Amino acid sequence: MIKMHKIFILFISIILFSNCKTREISIVDTNGNTMEQKVDSVLALMTLYEKVGQMNQYNGSWDVTGPASGKSDKDKLERLKNGGVGSMLNVLSVKATREAQKLVMENSRLKIPLIIGYDVIHGYKTIFPVPLGESASWDLDIMQKSAAVAASEASAAGINWTFAPMLDVSRDARWGRIMEGSGEDPYLASQIGVARVKGFQGDDLTKNNTIAACAKHFAGYGFAEAGRDYNTVNIGEYELHNAILPPFKAAAEAGVATFMNSFNEIDGIPATGHRELQRTILKDNWSWDGFIVSDWGSVGEMIAHGYAKDMKQASEIAANAGSDMDMESYAYEGYLEELVNEGKVDIALIDDSVKRILRIKFRLGLFDDPYKYCNEEREKTEIYTQENQDFAREVAKKSIVLLKNDNHILPLNKSIKSIAIIGPLADDKDSPIGNWRAKGETNSAISLLEGIKNAVSPNTKVIYEKGVSILTEEYPRGRGFLMPLNFNTTDVSGIPAAVKAAKNAEIVVLAIGEVALQTGEGRSQTNIKLVGKQQELLEAIYKVNKNVVIVLMNGRPLDISWAADNVPSILECWLLGSQSGNAIADVLFGDYNPSGKLPVSFPHNVGQEPLYYNKKNTGRPYNETHVTFSAYRDAPNTALYPFGFGLSYTNFTYSNLKLNKKEITLDGKTTVSVEVTNTGGVDGEEVIQLYIRDLVGSITRPIKELKGFQKIYFKKGETKTVTFEINSKTLEFYTVNKKWEVEPGDFNIWIGGSSTAELKASFTVVK
């Protein structure tokens, strides 16, 4: 039982601290003392039950994003009132978050506010492109801003924590969650991850329009064997450090408030129970002071993994390993007190977890005002505004990648006489909203058909035919997140009408690809060709009209090799969000010159997966004259469309690659410059990419690694000299000494417009 004078001290402290507000609890608090004192003063008042309570998170059942628990609402309510819950997820709207917060603030002894989380992954109600698509913009400023807009809308609806960004590097198109990340490259993923963290969190978490971000899933989740979700991960220590951890380290350094661990095991140890990952690497080596939330039910899943015999042991393992908050396993609330009393979990570890959670609540300013995000006026006026819609269009058009454009078939003329808009996704107002759509409404996107109609001249004849459906039944709505999809593999009755439309039009725009829920959690596939009858539709159309522009909508790389061989133009349009149709029309008709570049390789076929440009050379690198070299006999080793690739309506040429020095010391630096000229007929942007190869290492190094990029606007005919600095950060890697360091030796360097860049120079690093 707590003594009265302690409660009194708590009140005094809260009053005192709330008077000094933002200055003292700023996230950039340099000495850190004041906030730590506050955290300690609260911790000192807490019973073990209340401490465990902070480590406990409940689902609010406005949305269900994992297997339901069966815990009754009555039990949840009771614990909320008596200080047994520190956080909730999926509590949506100002009304609901206020109610949940009130339960705690008006009933619990210590009145420690809830932190309320939600998967705000690519927008709250104004929906931006799915993260993989947005990553194709290679535009860090707009990605930071889109996260800031998402944070501002979510915070206007009472949310103060997002489970984003997802930082899992993934090289496997089969994995459904590849859509939620930034693709295959650790450097690009680090840059984008930091931009998104900064966007969500702003420079001051105490503001009411910024929210806590969450670096997830720690770690290795994107390397699931054979791309099957939740599957086993087997990677070595060096691969873990060099390919998987860099975006997480970058996010930790950027001050991300929270981490989420992952469902998978790594080399036999489930991430949730992985002490080395969570305690040694993240908390100790990286000196990161936020808290780690488990993934949904992942504490309990250690039983199925065969790593814990029951929920009690699972709790023991997870808490000892450094997993601070239990999402939906009901493990900590059930067993942690007992485990502490039995001496199986040290109270010091519990205290550390609780301090981490309290620290973030202080940083958010929740102790000053637990209702700071509960503002009905903001909820009414700051969500889904015209300004946010305009910005969503901007982001969407910058995310589009032009994969093919023979004979300059694009851009189209707005006064074109007739245009046939065909395909299952052409008038689909829902798929562009994508998976993890938060409060993005069903059927709320501008469809391609609408976008084109908005753009063309009144005299243009626009003909629409769906051709085929992707699914057999009406798209699963509402809780569709958890539903199976049934693909249409038989019905081709719409193809004749589509063929007729194609015959009568000057040009065909064919919208094919994937529906919203084909990618995302639990949406792995072994087939990455166009599903159902789409290929049949494509070939039937192409037979009667060769002027076909494919608008591809998808959340993963697809096998589009037939289209690449035959169709003159392909526009990669991902799932572009609320303004999809308008943004695509901007590109189709040349109001915007496409500038996106692939953040992930597109294979010739699924058998090449996992496919990534930054691979190792092997002892028998590809040699076309001989069989006993590392190659497929029925497909190339290389990608159909490689990482970093994307065309423009203009052309860029690269010349005059110059290295300032040919030799540098281990901690030295040099600059490299290149001249880039827009040699085509229109203005446009180019993503200039810098790649290196460390020729010999204490562990083998990839044949190419992205180490810098700049997205630059060029007027037609304009030449600019673009310069990059090369320093120890560019050249270091996790070496055989188990630390990040530069090794002496020879390096190659390339600059160009994709990972196949050929303009090359070399330099040496000396001791």
Q: CB 66 → ligand BGC: shortest distance, Å?
A: 4
Q: CB 327 → ligand BGC: shortest distance, Å?
A: 7
Per DSSP, which regions of 307-441 are E strands?
A: 326-327, 401-405, 418-422
Of 167 and 358, which has the nearer Cβ to ligand BGC? 167
- Evaluate whether 331 touches 319 at the Cβ level (below 8 Å): no
Radius of gyration of the chain (CA): 27
With 0-12 / 13-18 / 19 or more C-beta atoms within 10 angstroms meaning exposed / middle / buried, residue 6 is: middle
* 76 lies in the binding site for ligand BGC (CB under 6 A): no
Q: CB 200 → ligand BGC: shortest distance, Å?
A: 14
Determine the Cα–Cα distance for residues 339 and 347; give it in Å rounded to an integer.
9
- Cis ω before 157 (30° cut-off from 0): no
Closest CA relative to residue 740, chosen from 730, 754, 749:
730
Work out whether the CA dihedral 403, 407, 412, 418 comes out positive or negative.
negative
* 295 lies in the binding site for ligand BGC (CB under 6 A): yes
* 200 lies in the binding site for ligand BGC (CB under 6 A): no
* 569 lies in the binding site for ligand BGC (CB under 6 A): no
85-104 residues in contact with ligand BGC (CB under 6 A) are 89
Helix (H, G, I), strand (E, B) or coil at 509: strand
Of 179 and 606, which has the nearer Cβ to ligand BGC? 179
* 296 lies in the binding site for ligand BGC (CB under 6 A): yes
Of 66 and 246, which has the nearer Cβ to ligand BGC? 66
Of 295 and 514, which has the nearer Cβ to ligand BGC? 295
Furthest-apart CA atoms within the chain: distance in Å: 86
Of 258 and 670, which has the nearer Cβ to ligand BGC? 258
Tokens of 143: 């990605």
Q: How far apart are the first and last CA of the chain?
A: 64
From 295, 326, 430, 694, the catalytic residue:
295
* 65 lies in the binding site for ligand BGC (CB under 6 A): yes
Site string for ligand BGC, 104-143 (x = CB under 6 A): ---------------x------------------------
Sequence-distant (≥ 6) Cβ neighbours of residue 378 within 8 angstroms: 94, 155, 156, 208
Determine the Cα–Cα distance for residues 501 and 498; give it in Å rounded to an integer.
5
* 521 lies in the binding site for ligand BGC (CB under 6 A): yes
β-pairing, 418-422 vs 461-465, is parallel
Q: CB 568 → ligand BGC: shortest distance, Å?
A: 39
DSSP assignment of 127-194 equals PPPPHHHHHTT--HHHHHHHHHHHHHHHHHTT--EE---B------TTSGGGGGS--S-HHHHHHHHH
201-260 residues in contact with ligand BGC (CB under 6 A) are 216
Of 215 and 402, which has the nearer Cβ to ligand BGC? 215
With 0-12 / 13-18 / 19 or more C-beta atoms within 10 angstroms meaning exposed / middle / buried, residue 380 is: exposed
- Residue 392: CB atoms within 10 A of its CB come to 28
Determine the Cα–Cα distance for residues 645 and 409; give it in Å rounded to an integer.
19
Q: CB 735 → ligand BGC: shortest distance, Å?
A: 32
User: Contact with ligand BGC (CB under 6 A): which of 53, 60, 66, 220?
Assistant: 66
The residue with its CB nearest to ligand BGC is 65
Task: Clarify whether 295 is annotated catalytic.
Answer: yes
Q: CB 279 → ligand BGC: shortest distance, Å?
A: 22
Of 256 and 552, which has the nearer Cβ to ligand BGC? 256
- Evaluate whether 58 touches 297 at the Cβ level (below 8 Å): no
* 193 lies in the binding site for ligand BGC (CB under 6 A): no
Q: CB 230 → ligand BGC: shortest distance, Å?
A: 9
Please name the residue ranges forming H helices in 345-494. 347-363, 376-381, 386-399, 448-455
* 163 lies in the binding site for ligand BGC (CB under 6 A): yes
Q: CB 131 → ligand BGC: shortest distance, Å?
A: 12
367-406 residues in contact with ligand BGC (CB under 6 A) are none
Of 133 and 680, which has the nearer Cβ to ligand BGC? 133
* 523 lies in the binding site for ligand BGC (CB under 6 A): no
* 747 lies in the binding site for ligand BGC (CB under 6 A): no
Determine the Cα–Cα distance for residues 525 and 32; give it in Å rounded to an integer.
48
Determine the Cα–Cα distance for residues 19 and 565; give it in Å rounded to an integer.
68
Of 89 and 233, which has the nearer Cβ to ligand BGC? 89
DSSP assignment of 244-288 equals ISHHHHHHHHTT-SEEEE-SSEETTEEGGG-HIIIIIIIIIIT--
Count of positions on this chain that bind ligand BGC (CB under 6 A):
9
Q: CB 117 → ligand BGC: shortest distance, Å?
A: 8
Site string for ligand BGC, 43-62 (x = CB under 6 A): --------------------
**H or E element at residue 752:** strand 745-752
Residues serving a catalytic function are 295
Interacting residues with ligand BGC (CB under 6 A): 65-66, 89, 119, 163, 216, 295-296, 521
